[in-house]
Amino acid sequence: MMRAAVIREHGTLLVERVPEPDLPRYAARCEIVYGSTCTGTDSHIIAGNFPWLASLPTILGHESVGRVVETGEGVRNFRVGDLVTRVGTPAIAAAGISVNWGGFAEVALAWDHWAMCADGLPRSEWRGHRVNQVIPPAVDPRDAPMFTTWRETLSYALRAGVGEGATVLVVGSGGNGLSIAAHAINLGAAAVVMVGSQAVGRRVEGRLSLERFVDYRDPDATRTLADAFSDGFDFVFDAIGRQRVADGFLALVRDGGVYSTYGIDEYGGLSVDPTRARGRVVLHPCVYDEAETHQAVCELVLQGRLDAGLWYDREAPYELAEIARAFEDVVDRRTAPKALVAISR
């Protein structure tokens, strides 16, 4: 048996003992070392308003990192001791427990998608496991849970076209918003501006090379930014996903610029009023591929250009038994935008 963070009814997250997963041919058994909270996804799942909910009871977590302790007979690309990203326990049919990725559990599986592909298994069986990637030994395991968010948002920013000399506005200062801003800076943007909470603004001051940080409670935020960036921004990213963001910030996109929504607070209910735009606007879909940016994120971390300490406190992780409090502290903004959770037994 192992411990896992289980939702049996929406609004409540409990740590329970559940059966450990079996070891399939192409999987590696991992002891999960650390995981991190995701306000954008996990908190919506807990509340019951995530767009793609698995049935209850369900095991939460998709930003967990595991250490390989055993490999199935078909595994050729994982070794015992490897640190692997985005691991999770599968659904436990015998106990009637589903998973929303299943990363907040003590034991999980990583799938050797390379071997599955080489051995001729259908793409549908291994494509979703490309998120299981090995992290270089030089990376601190406490930084490793951030790879999920960093890879998603880097792929997203690159596909949107962010690059050298761009002007970028990010609305939302949670984990995703911070990641988009950090990537834009690393990609050579000429100016990166964020609209978010004062607490995050203080946290990143002097640590993230922003052109400006604007308090989201400022009623004159859009007017201030319109005056400061009279030509508009090349890219405006909504990292929250609310109608008020589109209504308030679409007019800050330059003629021919890009507007994109990454957040999911009001998923499926957003609309764009073209009369608010100053000219042509490209609406970029929220598309990304984690696997395509894994190597780039590895290099950025090893170069010191991505620092997990901006997102959570590495020195004081929550224990798995405290995971409900970790989410409460993040949602109530009593801590950093994310929380690190130590999971190993």
Peptide bond into 57 cis (omega under 30): yes
Residues 71 and 139 in one domain: yes
CA–CA distance, 29 with 50 (Å, rounded to integer): 29
Residue 98's domain spans which residues?
2-143+308-342
Task: Please provide residue 201's backbone torsions phi and psi, each rounded to the nearest 5 degrees.
Answer: -55, -40
Residues 94 and 128 in one domain: yes
Cα separation values, 147 from 1, 73, 85, 121, 251, Å: 28, 28, 7, 27, 33
Cα separation values, 162 from 63, 103, 153, 178, 260, Å: 25, 31, 11, 15, 12
Residues 195 and 99 in one domain: no
Handedness of CA 56, 62, 63, 67 (dihedral sign): positive
CA–CA distance, 320 with 97 (Å, rounded to integer): 19
**pLDDT tens string 167-182:** 999 999 999 999 999 9
Of 195, 188, 182, 264, the closest CA to residue 229 belongs to 195
Task: Please provide residue 344's backbone torsions phi and psi, each rounded to the nearest 5 degrees.
Answer: -55, 145
Q: Residue 161: give its domain's CATH number.
A: 3.40.50.720
Cβ neighbors of 329 (< 8 A, separation 6 or more) are 335, 339
**pLDDT tens string 227-253:** 999 999 999 999 999 999 999 999 999
Are the beta carbons of 217 and 194 closer than 8 angstroms? no
Predicted structure pTM score: 0.96
Q: Residue 24: give its domain's CATH number.
A: 3.90.180.10
Let me know if residue 197 belongs to a domain: yes
**pLDDT of 345:** 65
Q: How many structural domains comprise the chain?
A: 2
**pLDDT tens string 269-309:** 889 999 999 999 999 998 999 999 999 999 999 999 999 99
Using the predicted structure, report yes or no on whether residue 201 has a pLDDT greater than 80. Answer: yes
Instruction: Encode 227-252 in three state secondary structure.
Output: HHCCCCEEEEEECCCCHHHHHHHHHH
AA letter at 182: A
